Amino acid sequence: MVEETIQVIRDTEAEADAMVEDAQKRCGRLVEEASREADEFRAQQRSAMRQYADKAMSEAKEKGEQIQRQNATDIELEVRALKELAAGKEEQAVSLVLSRFV
């Protein structure tokens, strides 16, 4: 009877050891899987953020180019107006100088 009890205890201990070993293996696999999934998630997030940043940069560049084009047009119009104004003033200056000589 005592030997049977000791054997039952040994068997129970062996089962418990096997269960602990199995749990440790499963835990290791779960940790590895979670780590892999976290790496994949980080990579996806990096990619998404890179795409977002590229899009924002492209939009900002286009907006800057649009502003430059508009400024160039505005400057061109202002230069034309100043040239026309200067041409009119030139005629007045020539008339004034000629009137002083006469």
- Cα(41)–Cα(46) distance, integer angstroms: 9
- Supply φ then ψ for residue 100, to 5 degrees: -75, -30
Please determine, for residue 101, whether its predicted confidence score (pLDDT) is greater than 80.
Answer: no
Please determine, for residue 96, whether its predicted confidence score (pLDDT) is greater than 90.
Answer: no
Of 34 and 4, the one with more pLDDT: 34
Task: Identify the residue whose tokens are 């039952």.
Answer: 8
Of 8 and 65, the one with more pLDDT: 65
pLDDT in tens, 29-62: 999 999 999 999 999 999 999 999 999 999 999 9
For the chain, the distance separating the N- and C-terminal CA atoms, rounded to the nearest angstrom, is: 148
- Cα(72)–Cα(64) distance, integer angstroms: 12
